[in-house]
């Protein structure tokens, strides 16, 4: 049987939906969108804030004697029970694309030690442009921060993972060479030939989501985008993660030093 649970994570507009479709085609069960497990991170942050305020008032205060770590672990077990109740047939996957989900990976490893991960990534330039087209009510700085937080969260999380536990798949690779992507997925997930062929067929027929035809494959250059304020915001917020992942700021997608 294919390895599970499979968690598909990454920044929105980076190919997470296409990868979820590939997993479904290969025989995985699951919801096309998860968006539940990120609550683990939200609740943990709330618990930490609450106990930082009320957890040091002495033995006469309940909040001071409750074991904060055990509380978080007990809540996480409830999440595991809910996930397994709604995904009763193995193998199953979850797809949730946001930095809170990526930050939850250490907890997911505690809950499911055999879990595997696929991180969907995309260069910041194309990702932010796509976000602005689909979600124009948010400004460029908000989209830049979201992309950078996703990438940073993943870099930190993957330090906890062995090489055989994860893949990074760039959207350009998914578009240009779906067979190579499927081969990598088959190796990670122990897919049969039939499962891999079904995933490849899906990737060939169903391109990653596009706000306009052809936009997913288009390669941009920072100098051609936005105004000075927008370019400065992008460089300031996204620059460190662009360099960390080997992305170029110009018309060549990857940095030549990669």
Q: Is residue 256 part of a domain?
A: no
pLDDT recorded at residue 256: 78
User: Using 50, 70 and 90 to split pLDDT, how confident is the model at 218?
Assistant: confident
Whether 228 is covered by a domain: the verdict is no
pLDDT at 258 over 80: no
Tens of pLDDT, residue by residue over 183-214, are 999 999 999 999 999 999 999 887 655 555 55
CA distance 148 to 151: 5
Tally of structural domains, the chain: 1
Is 146 contained in some domain?
Answer: no
Per-residue model confidence (pLDDT) at position 223: 95
Tell me how crowded residue 177 is: count the other CB atoms within 10 A of its CB. 12
Residue 85: give its domain's CATH number: 3.40.50.300
Q: Write down the pLDDT at residue 205.
A: 85
- pLDDT at 181 > cutoff 80: yes
Find, among 13, 188, 40, the residue nearest to 102 by Cα. 40
Does residue 131 lie within any of the structural domains? no
Whole-angstrom distance, CA of residue 14 vs CA of residue 148 = 13
Residues in the chain, total:
258
Backbone dihedral angles phi then psi of residue 15, each to the nearest 5 degrees: 105, 10
CA distance 202 to 207: 9
In this prediction, residues 217-238 reach a mean pLDDT of 94
**Mean pLDDT taken over the chain:** 92
- pLDDT at residue 213 in the model: 53
Does residue 81 sit within a domain?
yes
| 30-84 pLDDT per residue, tens | 999 999 999 999 999 999 999 999 988 889 999 999 999 999 999 999 999 999 9
Q: At 88, phi and psi to the nearest 5?
A: -75, -20
Question: Is 60 a member of any domain?
Answer: yes
Two tokens, residue 2: 């294919």
Q: Is residue 135 part of a domain?
A: no
Q: Is residue 184 part of a domain?
A: yes
Question: Is it the case that residue 27 has pLDDT exceeding 80?
Answer: yes
Domain containing 49 equals: 6-123+163-217
Place of tokens 């995309």: 122
């Amino acid at each position: 049987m294919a390895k599970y649970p499979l968690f598909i994570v990454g920044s929105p507009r980076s190919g997470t939906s296409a990868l979820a479709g590939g997993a479904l085609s290969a025989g995985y069960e699951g919801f096309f969108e998860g968006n539940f497990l990120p609550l683990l991170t939200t609740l943990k942050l709330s618990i930490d804030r609450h106990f930082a305020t009320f957890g040091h008032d002495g033995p006469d205060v309940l909040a001071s004697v409750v074991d904060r770590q055990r509380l978080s672990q007990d809540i996480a077990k409830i999440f595991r029970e809910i996930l397994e109740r709604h995904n009763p047939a193995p193998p199953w996957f979850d797809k949730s694309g946001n930095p809170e989900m990526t930050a939850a990976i250490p907890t997911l490893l505690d809950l499911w030690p055999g879990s595997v991960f696929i991180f969907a990534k995309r260069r910041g330039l194309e990702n932010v442009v796509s976000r602005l087209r689909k979600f124009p009510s948010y400004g460029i700085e908000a989209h830049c921060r979201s992309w950078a937080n996703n990438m940073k969260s993943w870099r930190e999380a993957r330090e906890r993972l062995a090489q055989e536990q994860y893949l990074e798949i760039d959207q350009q690779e998914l578009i240009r060479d779906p067979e190579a992507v499927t081969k990598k997925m088959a190796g990670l997930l122990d897919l049969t030939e039939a499962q891999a062929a079904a995933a490849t067929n899906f990737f060939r027929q169903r391109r990653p989501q596009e706000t306009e035809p052809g936009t997913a494959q288009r390669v941009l250059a920072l100098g051609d985008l936005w105004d000075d304020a927008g370019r400065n915001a992008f460089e300031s917020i996204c620059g460190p993660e662009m360099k960390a992942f080997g992305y170029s700021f110009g018309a060549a997608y990857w940095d030549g030093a990669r």
